[in-house]
Structure 1
């Protein structure tokens, strides 16, 4: 068993070091591990079955729908209206532009379901504006990348759907509702850091706008924000499932972007559909390959061995959860969220349950962990996008990123050790 686990880890990280795409690294490492205990023909048959079976789940149909709606929204003038709304509401406070950046990234990330899209759409406008007002460019880039990750917790979120599949049956509706408070807490913690930073640096505030203009900006952004309420409201009330919510999100985003805002033309739709297909194919290949790896992990009893080892290390739940968190933070810095959730949920969820943590609570913890990984060097994907937009380098944004990272880590600790933050809203709505 130990030998199989060693082969799996060594082959996987060796291929990653060679810049082999992660889905192929997972697949090759899985095959290599299978061949230690299974003949070639049964091994090849098993991995083919697991690749196909891993994506043969009705709930996963929601992912291509939300990917498509997010891409349509991303080009539909949503970012501009959200930024103007945030500017009107909170621009007059200390560090106004930085606060607007956080709020806009949070809202756009939630609507689009993509931290990378939020970083690109909001950052391309906010980073130059902040630089004009005297904000440090590297701080602006670091802030945009950190704030964009909050959308991974606030529904509709594809990664929460993937966790629901990996955990073996946690309610998607419960996960969606559970993500609100942690996501908002992360956003507020980043705003707190921004306010302190702005006071220290003496950054200017934005002028207070007349009430009529504020209302006009809020009304202009309401159709975009309404998508969140339609999706989560319909799921909570039982009017439609998460998959059906994805289809409704596509229809709504088309009407909003093509008919109402008129920011997306009909000739642009084939390109958007093609990009959506490419993204969905990548995600599904990752899910299929990760499902195969999860199977071989289970076959070799590796999750059980890790669980027993962790529980033998200490009887203190606080310490064990801290070890799991640190491990996930390191993993998130090197691995994409989708395979990380699919691979490490079966490994760490049994440990968490043995400590009395619910699968719902653990799901929010692991997603928040890996969201922090998205803005963690050296491989954090949103950092590269933020650096490209700001025309700077990873090395230059690490220093301003540290206080933001600390704020997110403190929220992670709160979410880990205070179950009510994740479980309160689902219990209120009768979902948990």
Structure 2
């Protein structure tokens, strides 16, 4: 095994990140330097440029800008307010009621918008002040908001699951979407249990119990928003349209819903489109550069070498999955989710498939694992959004975050070692 390309790739990438080079450029330059070890400069430059371009040449990737735009429209279109009102009638009277509302609201928002940052921003800005008014600490509210926002990346529709489908060589997006439901809901339930115990320990105020009439009334108001789930996921699973077509339908539906609620006007559309374009540009640059690095990994036979090393350690699936999970948890601390999925899927997927694991199951494990990294410094994007919205600091949020982290990791290990939590729903639809 030639160790030099691996050393050049890893050391250059870590050094660039350490000196503050943006992640996308760190990926591209370290991939280029690795190529320069093996081939002359001109072919190396042209190959990396070509791979960045061809990495974006995928019909499935068209779903990402559409889902990003639909997420922005939902965020501005008053959907979050209606989902929170519905969640409040369900769990508002339980211990830690407002924290539980945050978790349920984030799960519903994530299931509709598919964006952790949009969910953290919407839930934090609406529920944060209300939680403070009821006596909850600002830091506890921020911690709940940050961790619960990530459930939307597992519960479909999810841009990251689309990226995994691309990186894995075409795993069914419909199967991945269905596989995400139970793990996402399970994670949300664990977060709710921890939040409820914490609130009981701190003796936070209980809310008033809602009548069945109030529950029904808020549900009716939330139905148009929730119906998007039926349209998008139902259409994909039944084969009426692809994930890309579903994303375009989601944009049209949320736009009409925003106008119907009178929360969006023609005057506000340019800023929404601009924000969506900026987010899409960042994501697409990360995808393009990550695809170039994935190609370099394959060219240098790095996945095969790592696979041999891992399988040389043990052929026990329990041990191998534990090692992969620990490595991904470490990676998630330092790398954003999209490049991590694109770079490490080609490395670890061959290992787990040799052990007989379903690629759909592994995709859910990977995304659920990397969700933890979004809540940790130094590059946790959801952490920064949640802390910024709550107007607090990372240092103060760490203490209430720790038990919530443990809840997420417990959910991860249950999903890892009980495959049917992921595979049962896809099997019902023969996917």
Provide the TM-score with structure 1 as the length reference.
0.98
Which residue in 2 is equivalent to 1:229?
Answer: 230
Deviation at 1:196, TM superposition (A): 1.3
Which residue in 2 is equivalent to 1:379?
Answer: 379
Q: Deviations over 1:80-117 (max 9, x none)?
A: 11111100111111211111011011111221211111
Which residue in 1 is equivalent to 2:328?
Answer: 328
Structure 2 residue 52 is matched with structure 1 residue 51: yes
Q: Structure 1: how far apart are the matches of 2:107 and 2:214? A: 23
Which residue in 2 is equivalent to 1:393?
Answer: 393
Q: Structure 2: how far apart are the matches of 1:302 and 1:17? A: 23
Q: Structure 2: how far apart are the matches of 1:279 and 1:378? A: 20
Q: Structure 2: how far apart are the matches of 1:64 and 1:389? A: 24
Structure 2 residue 283 is matched with structure 1 residue 283: yes
Q: Structure 1: how far apart are the matches of 2:144 and 2:295? A: 38
Q: Structure 1: how far apart are the matches of 2:11 and 2:154? A: 32
Q: Structure 2: how far apart are the matches of 1:246 and 1:315? A: 41
Structure 2 residue 86 is matched with structure 1 residue 69: no
Which SS does the other structure have where 1:275 is aligned?
helix
Which residue in 1 is equivalent to 2:5?
Answer: 4
Structure 2 residue 177 is matched with structure 1 residue 180: no
Q: Structure 1: how far apart are the matches of 2:62 and 2:387? A: 33
Q: Structure 2: how far apart are the matches of 1:272 and 1:151? A: 21
Q: Structure 1: how far apart are the matches of 2:404 and 2:88? A: 21
Q: Deviations over 1:267-326 (max 9, x none)?
A: 111121122122112111111111110111111111111111111112322111111101
Provide the TM-score with structure 2 as the length reference.
0.98
Q: Deviations over 1:110-158 (max 9, x none)?
A: 2121111111110112122112111121111111000000000111100
How do residues 406-421 of structure 1 correspond to structure 2 at under 5 angstroms?
406-421=406-421
Q: Deviations over 1:358-386 (max 9, x none)?
A: 11110000000011111123321111111
Q: Structure 1: how far apart are the matches of 2:68 and 2:131? A: 29
Deviation at 1:197, TM superposition (A): 1.4
Deviates more, 1:155-164 or 1:112-121: 112-121
How do residues 342-357 of structure 1 correspond to structure 2 at under 5 angstroms?
342-357=342-357
Which residue in 2 is equivalent to 1:169?
Answer: 170
How do residues 296-375 of structure 1 correspond to structure 2 at under 5 angstroms?
296-375=296-375
Deviation at 1:210, TM superposition (A): 2.7
Q: Deviations over 1:171-212 (max 9, x none)?
A: 000000000000000000001111211222222221112322
Moved beyond 4 Å, runs of 4+: none
How do residues 203-242 of structure 1 correspond to structure 2 at under 5 angstroms?
203-242=204-243
Which SS does the other structure have where 1:266 is aligned?
coil
Q: Structure 1: how far apart are the matches of 2:384 and 2:284? A: 23
Alignment length, in residue pairs?
A: 430
